[in-house]
């Protein structure tokens, strides 16, 4: 350090003081910098932990939605039988006579589903067999729904009704071949 020896005593003291200030600043700034970097990493790690915990807690919701989708797919995998025959067979089990039924044309619902509907008129039906009949239709396991129910009590009889019943079956349209006809959801009920 030849240049230090060439300096005067006063200049040497100033250089030494400046060096002490720089070393002091290094001792203060380095821990502060490390501390701020550590705080930033901790905050980043905490955000990651929170995101992971949200993902872990939503696993149940995702699993429930997956099961619901599978249940819907399983329900539509089993195509509903011809409605008139299905209704007549179910009515015979409850000793109800079906004097009149009328099939309606298929109605596309969106791109994936088709609705088939049948209207049935029943006369002089007792209350309990009617309820069992309706329950049997709804609980058949097929994608079938009662979409219309009009009950009229017969005058003179206590437990006798005339019934107009609309039953719809929803089938998944075959999307592997040609494209299914598109229709708005307002063209029919929802499956």
175/101 same-domain check = yes
Assess if residue 175 is contained within a domain: yes
142/96 same-domain check = yes
SS3 169: strand
Burial class (CB in 10 A: 0-12, 13-18, 19+), 129: middle
Tens of each residue's pLDDT in the chain, 191 residues: 677 777 788 888 888 899 899 998 888 888 888 888 999 999 999 999 999 998 888 888 888 999 998 887 777 777 878 888 888 888 888 888 888 888 888 888 888 888 888 898 888 888 888 888 888 888 887 888 888 888 888 877 788 888 898 988 888 776 544 443 443 333 444 44
Assess if residue 130 is contained within a domain: yes
Domain count, the chain: 2
18/93 same-domain check = no
43/86 same-domain check = no
Virtual torsion, Cα 168, 170, 171, 173, nearest 10 deg? 110
20/88 same-domain check = no
19/94 same-domain check = no
Burial class (CB in 10 A: 0-12, 13-18, 19+), 133: buried
- Domain carrying residue 110: 80-187
Assess if residue 183 is contained within a domain: yes
106/173 same-domain check = yes
Beta bridge partners of 122: 163
Assess if residue 69 is contained within a domain: no
178/101 same-domain check = yes
115/166 same-domain check = yes
Question: Which pair of tokens denotes residue 88?
Answer: 């007549």
Assess if residue 66 is contained within a domain: no
Assess if residue 36 is contained within a domain: yes
């Amino acid at each position: 350090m030849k240049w230090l020896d060439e300096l005067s005593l006063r200049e040497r003291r100033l250089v030494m003081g400046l060096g002490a200030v720089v070393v002091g600043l290094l001792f203060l700034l380095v821990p502060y910098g490390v501390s701020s970097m550590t705080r930033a990493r901790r905050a980043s790690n905490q955000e990651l932990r929170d995101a992971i915990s949200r993902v872990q807690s939503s696993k149940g919701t995702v699993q429930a939605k997956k099961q619901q989708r599978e249940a819907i797919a399983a329900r539509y995998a089993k195509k509903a039988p011809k409605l008139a025959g299905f209704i007549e067979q179910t009515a015979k089990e409850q000793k109800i006579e079906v004097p009149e039924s009328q099939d309606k044309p298929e109605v596309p619902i969106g791109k994936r589903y088709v609705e088939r509907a049948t209207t049935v008129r029943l006369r002089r039906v007792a209350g309990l067999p009617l309820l069992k009949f309706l329950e049997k239709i709804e609980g058949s396991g097929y994608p079938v729904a009662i979409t219309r129910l009009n009950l009229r009590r017969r005058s003179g009889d206590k437990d006798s009704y005339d019934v107009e019943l609309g039953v719809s079956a929803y089938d998944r349209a075959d999307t592997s071949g040609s494209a299914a006809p598109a229709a708005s959801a307002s063209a029919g009920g929802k499956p």
